Amino acid sequence: MKWDSHADSANESIDVSACIPTTAKLIHGTMGLSAGTTARKMRVSANFAGAIWAGALCNAQGTGDVSFGVSGEKNFTLPILASQTLYWSTETTDNIYAVGIEGFTDDL
Per the domain annotation, does 78 fall within a domain? yes
Range of the domain at 26: 2-56+65-101
- For the stretch 8-21, pLDDT in tens is 777 899 999 999 99
Per the domain annotation, does 88 fall within a domain? yes
Per the domain annotation, does 108 fall within a domain? no
Task: Tell me what pLDDT residue 20 has.
Answer: 94
Per the domain annotation, does 107 fall within a domain? no
Q: What's the total number of domains in the chain? A: 1
- For the stretch 18-27, pLDDT in tens is 999 999 999 9
Classified as helix, coil or strand, 40 is strand
Q: What is the pTM of this model?
A: 0.89
- Cα 21 to Cα 10, 95, 99, 104: the distances in Å are 26, 28, 18, 9
- For the stretch 47-88, pLDDT in tens is 988 889 999 998 877 788 888 888 888 999 999 999 999 999
